[in-house]
Structure 1
Amino acid sequence: MLNQIKNITDEKSQNTSVFLPSSTALAGSGAAMDQKIEDSGKKWKFIIISSIAVIIVGVAIWSVMSLNGDRSFRAQADTLTIAKVTTGIFEDYIPIRGRIVPRTTVFLDAIEGGRVDRVYAEDGDILTKGDLIVSLSNSSLQLQVTNSEAQVAEQLNNMRTIELSMEQNRLNNARTIVDIEHKIKTLESDLQGDRQLGELGFLSKKALIDKENELIYHQNLLKLSKESQKTDERLQKQQLEAQREASGRLEKNLVTARKNLEDLNIKAPIGGKLSGFDAEVGQNIMPGVRIGQIDIPDQFKLQADIDEFYINRVDMGQSVSYQHNGKDYKAEIKKIYPQVNDGKFQVDIEFIDKEPPALRRGQTLQAKLTLGDESEAVLIPNGSFYQDTGGNWIFVVTKDGAEAVKRSIRLGRRNSSYIEVVEGLEPGEQVVISSYSGFDEIDRLKIKN
């Protein structure tokens, strides 16, 4: 392309004539003047085309050099944090900050709603089991209890009426059977005498047959009366049993209603310290509303939030250590809450042998959660670069310290101080561990002292 530009320049030089003005030319014709303007326009056109060609060539050369070269950035040494790759014992732990909460807490919820009639305790009071805390009133619940009592009384009266009717029917049936049996015996006795009189001719045959038919009738009547008695007793027993079941349900409802009425008097279910309680006389409290809680004093646990990054490495029974006034206290994880909120999950930690002295609810403690055993490893200090790279790459400082070159690595476990190197770095090398903000597309850092 440069040769073509040179050829074009030579051709233009040969075709361009030199014009030397004279007094004759100044007074010459208009044709000579037109020839000069034509040659100047061609010259400027040539200059513009040549400039554009040079720019295009320069851009092309720059593009090729950019594609084949590294993307670098000049950085001041005092803005970078450089650390050395070392070997050492990796302690697999994470620091956690937890808050002291009561180990055992019983919440006080209003089972039945109502208006506060009287307050017997205040927030912070130490209570014993059964102490009255607050009394509520509920006219609807009281009316319900009254109605239940009336229904139970009515059902009991109905049941007694049925029992009385059953007893009367039983006696009437028994009396009827006794009368029929007596009649049968009388007919059998009379029929025996009448048969003798009929053999002697003193009694007609028709009279004898009538008496035998009467005996058969009463015998059949006795059989039907006994069956009727059994049927009546069975039906009446079923009716009485149904009444008793209905009465039992009503009595249970009455017991429940009375218990609900009793629940308007809220008492301490256990002994402890009353907290979160704020009720005033005349206040309306809805059913299910939490009005406070009772904490067992001098029994605490540690509740901590842990980054969700460790959710698969935290398990029940893992060791937690805490230092207070130069003494070590051991604890362990007792409960894990799997819900993740704002990138964190929660655990409950209980002290094993003894608790640190003078703990207060709401106090915060700094502790160490051990995730695994100690082991020999290649280590680099923990730094801000991890948040920018995810541990996938790092800038390694050259031996002369003039540059830091981007290198792919693989990191393993990390704690608050160090990160375990799995591959990509050797002990003795130096790396940049400060923030990589804005360095995502950079391959090389040129370090200026």
Structure 2
Amino acid sequence: MDRVIPKKKWNSKRLATIGGAAAILALIGASVYFTSGKTKVNVDTGKITVSEIKKGPFQESIPVNGIVMPITTIYLDAMEGGRVEEKFVEDGAFMKKGDPIMRLSNTDLELSLVNQETQVFNLLTQMQISKNAARQNTIGKLNQMAEVASSFTEAERVYNLNKDLYQKKAVGLQEFRKSQLEYEYQVKRKKLTEQVLRQDSVSTREEQDQATQGYQRTQAALALMRKKVGDLVVRAPVDGQLTSMDAEIGQNRSPGQRLGQIDVLSGFKVRVDVDEHYITRIFTGLKGDFTLGDKTYNLVIRKVYTQVTNGRFQVDMAFAEGTPKDIRRGQTLQIRLALSDETQAILVPKGGFYQQTGGNWIFKVSENGKTAYKVDIQLGRQDPDYYEVLEGLKPGDKVVTSSYENFGDIQELVLKKE
């Protein structure tokens, strides 16, 4: 007798069909989920930084580094070239104005000085000879003038006498005319001699003036040459500390070559490097501050160097309230350079989020604190600690400010404490 076998409800074929359909539905669901922009990831709150948005005083500023330098630096350049023969002091020595630092030798310059001195001596000797000759010439002309004057006086006397006697018929016409001609001759001779003497005096004076001027010029050239030789001994131009001396005995130094510098220690300034991006916003009078020994000190820009090198330019800043006692030359200061006046603004603390978002969006924590989701924001100015929020956030909001590097395209963070 045959037995009826009951048909199985869940056979392998049916199970395979149901499993395939479920997989397809799961795939479709996952596709819808991921393309809907609702990707989530669990995040340990201990591994992120949550900051609160607040409103407070804000001053746009940038962090810069400054080097403490003497307020005045005098560079020592070789006025004349030569070989370093002797060093009187070493680098770092404190100098008084006029103290010798080193001595150079230059045989060509020293030989030129000897030749110049010889030229001056020869010129002086020639001037003396010329003066003696001029004096003798003047004496001769004065003697000649004395003779002419004597002859004129005698001719005048005879003429006047004969004129009186002729009127009295005591002498003849011939004798009177002879004395008259002699007198007229002596008058012309006397005038001519006086003119020659005057011209000779003028000529002699001009020659002496020219010789004196030539001698003075030669003396000035000699003084200049002596100064050039004297410059072979390099001296401190002011009181201060000798630094950066670059000269060793036996070295040759060309004219104008840097030998060192003198730092005037009456005060200090701070030389600051600034990114060229801010060159249009930096000007004299801008302020900054730095902290040293738990105390804040103020600085002010006194000079801007507009030359850009390797993408940076420099400014000199002065201490606004006097130089701190603990400041030393060469010390590096971390300065907060203000670019605007202080105002009230909505602030978000700086953090690693900016590297991934560029300040265009941020993860904002929900009111219940369980999730954080993307919101668009707009940031403005910045200082070393905060960004200015222009749009998208309000005081009291909480946001994730740590790095988003591991979040990729995640749209929402599920905040959990582990």
Fold-level similarity (TM above 0.5): yes
Stretches of structure 2 that go unaligned for 5 or more consecutive residues are 1-34
Amino acid at match of 1:318: L
Q: Please say which structure displays the higher CA radius of gyration.
A: 1
Aligned residue in 2 for 1:427: 394
Structure 1 window deviating more from structure 2 (145-154 vs 95-104): it is: 95-104
| Secondary structure of residue in 2 paired with 1:360 | coil
Match of 1:336 among 293, 304, 311: 304
Q: Compared with structure 1, are the counterparts of its residues 301 and 200 closer, same or farther at alpha carbon in structure 2 (3 Å cutoff)?
A: closer
CA distance in 1, matches of 2:167, 2:196: 39
Match of 1:211 among 151, 157, 179: 179
CA distance in 2, matches of 1:435, 1:402: 14
Aligned residue in 1 for 2:55: 87
Q: Compared with structure 1, are the counterparts of its residues 236 and 298 closer, same or farther at alpha carbon in structure 2 (3 Å cutoff)?
A: closer
1:104 aligns with 2:59: no
Amino acid at match of 1:394: N
Amino acid at match of 1:228: V
CA distance in 1, matches of 2:126, 2:297: 71
1:155 aligns with 2:137: no
Amino acid at match of 1:322: F
| 1:332 positional shift | 2.4
Stretches of structure 1 that go unaligned for 5 or more consecutive residues are 1-69, 438-443
CA distance in 2, matches of 1:73, 1:286: 75
Q: Deviations over 1:342-378 (max 9, x none)?
A: 2222122232444344433322111222333221123
Structure with the larger RCO, 1 or 2 (CA within 8 Å, 6+ apart):
2
Aligned residue in 1 for 2:30: none
Q: Deviations over 1:226-266 (max 9, x none)?
A: 22222222222222112111111111111111111111111
| Secondary structure of residue in 1 paired with 2:280 | coil
For the Cα contact (< 8 Å) 1:92–1:415, is it kept in 2?
yes
CA distance in 2, matches of 1:186, 1:335: 90
Q: Compared with structure 1, are the counterparts of its residues 405 and 322 closer, same or farther at alpha carbon in structure 2 (3 Å cutoff)?
A: closer
**Number of aligned residue pairs:** 368
1:295 aligns with 2:263: yes
CA distance in 2, matches of 1:366, 1:144: 55
The 5 Å alignment of 1:272-291 reads 272-291=240-259
CA distance in 2, matches of 1:404, 1:172: 118
CA distance in 1, matches of 2:318, 2:298: 9
Q: Compared with structure 1, are the counterparts of its residues 288 and 388 closer, same or farther at alpha carbon in structure 2 (3 Å cutoff)?
A: farther
Amino acid at match of 1:244: T
Amino acid at match of 2:84: V
For the Cα contact (< 8 Å) 1:404–1:445, is it kept in 2?
no
1:261 aligns with 2:229: yes
1:417 aligns with 2:385: yes
Aligned residue in 2 for 1:181: 149
| Secondary structure of residue in 2 paired with 1:311 | helix
With normalisation by structure 1, the TM-score equals 0.70
Q: Compared with structure 1, are the counterparts of its residues 327 and 435 closer, same or farther at alpha carbon in structure 2 (3 Å cutoff)?
A: closer
Q: Compared with structure 1, are the counterparts of its residues 217 and 383 closer, same or farther at alpha carbon in structure 2 (3 Å cutoff)?
A: farther
Aligned residue in 2 for 1:395: 361
Aligned residue in 2 for 1:367: 335
The 5 Å alignment of 1:307-318 reads 307-318=275-286
Q: % of aligned pairs identical?
A: 33
Q: Deviations over 1:161-211 (max 9, x none)?
A: 332233233322322222222212211221233335545666543343233
For the Cα contact (< 8 Å) 1:330–1:353, is it kept in 2?
yes
CA distance in 1, matches of 2:226, 2:285: 46
Amino acid at match of 1:367: I
| Secondary structure of residue in 2 paired with 1:372 | coil
CA distance in 2, matches of 1:430, 1:234: 104
| Secondary structure of residue in 2 paired with 1:282 | coil
Aligned residue in 2 for 1:167: 135
CA distance in 1, matches of 2:208, 2:40: 99
Query: RMSD of aligned C-alpha atoms?
Result: 3.7
Aligned residue in 1 for 2:25: none
| Secondary structure of residue in 1 paired with 2:98 | coil
For the Cα contact (< 8 Å) 1:403–1:445, is it kept in 2?
no
Q: Deviations over 1:293-344 (max 9, x none)?
A: 2224584322111223333333334333222221222332232222222222
Q: Deviations over 1:424-446 (max 9, x none)?
A: 54526788989999xxxxxx985
| Secondary structure of residue in 1 paired with 2:328 | coil
For the Cα contact (< 8 Å) 1:394–1:431, is it kept in 2?
no
With normalisation by structure 2, the TM-score equals 0.74
Amino acid at match of 2:203: L
| 1:385 positional shift | 8.2
Amino acid at match of 2:160: Q
CA distance in 2, matches of 1:290, 1:144: 25
CA distance in 1, matches of 2:285, 2:149: 86
Match of 2:86 among 103, 110, 118: 118
CA distance in 2, matches of 1:386, 1:211: 127
Amino acid at match of 1:239: E
